[in-house]
């Protein structure tokens, strides 16, 4: 342990101490392999016009963008040869009670890699542009998020119920959905 000038051991910094307000926090990329760091760098550069915030989801490169830019950013991720995210492997909606978050898991075969694009949506009016025209797999994922959370995907060809029956009231994926009041028929 280092010593202070007075010969006393220096107090180690608190692990949860916040950085000073004038210093922007950097994402901890230590869980990424060198190839994933390179992928994240290419993804950040390709999506620069969308002002991505870089981060890591466990050991997967991740960027967060504004919801209104999702379709354009996903199109860039698919067709930019440095990214080449030809496959949407999953689209999930997460309810954080004060907002929703859309999480797009993308995969590229050449160069090989998996990445995540995220966007936050307001809880009271959750809407985002559809990416069904970018990846056909998004069709059912978006219908599922619409059924369970009430997310409206603008430009989607048909948001007909996928999991629920016509006339079902409410959104059972939401944390606030009253399951104890639900009765089967």
Which tops the pLDDT comparison, 82 or 17? 82
Say whether pLDDT at 119 is over 50: yes
Average pLDDT over the chain reads: 88
Domains of the chain: 34-123 (3.30.460.80)
Lowest mean pLDDT among 8-12, 72-76, 157-161: 8-12
Give pLDDT, residue 17.
Answer: 40
Q: pLDDT grade, residue 9 (50/70/90)?
A: very low
Taking only the tens place, the pLDDT of each residue in 169-181 is 999 999 999 877 6
In sign, the C-alpha dihedral spanning 36, 38, 42, 48 is: positive
Give pLDDT, residue 2.
Answer: 46
Taking only the tens place, the pLDDT of each residue in 142-152 is 999 999 999 99
Say whether pLDDT at 23 is over 60: no
Say whether pLDDT at 185 is over 90: no
Taking only the tens place, the pLDDT of each residue in 25-80 is 688 999 999 999 999 999 999 999 999 999 999 999 999 999 999 999 999 999 99
Give pLDDT, residue 69.
Answer: 98
d(CA 93, CA 148): 9
Give pLDDT, residue 178.
Answer: 87
Q: pLDDT grade, residue 129 (50/70/90)?
A: very high
Give pLDDT, residue 183.
Answer: 62
Closest alpha carbon to 26 in 40, 14, 9:
40
Give pLDDT, residue 20.
Answer: 38
Give pLDDT, residue 21.
Answer: 39
């Amino acid at each position: 342990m280092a010593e202070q000038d007075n010969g006393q051991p220096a107090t180690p910094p608190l692990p949860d101490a916040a950085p000073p307000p004038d210093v922007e926090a950097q994402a901890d990329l230590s869980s990424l392999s060198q190839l994933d760091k390179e992928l994240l760098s290419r993804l950040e550069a390709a999506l620069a016009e969308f002002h991505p915030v870089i981060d890591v989801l466990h050991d997967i490169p991740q960027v967060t963008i504004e919801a209104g830019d999702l379709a354009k950013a996903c199109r860039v991720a698919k067709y930019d040869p440095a990214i080449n995210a030809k496959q949407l492997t999953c689209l999930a909606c997460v309810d954080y009670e004060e907002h929703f978050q859309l999480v797009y898991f993308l995969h590229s075969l050449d160069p090989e890699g998996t990445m995540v694009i995220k966007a936050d949506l307001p809880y009271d009016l959750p809407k985002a542009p559809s990416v069904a025209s970018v990846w056909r797999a998004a069709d059912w994922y978006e219908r599922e998020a619409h059924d369970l959370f009430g997310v409206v995907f603008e430009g989607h060809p048909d948001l007909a119920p996928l999991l629920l029956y016509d006339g079902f009231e409410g959104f059972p994926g939401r944390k606030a959905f009253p399951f104890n009041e639900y009765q089967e028929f």
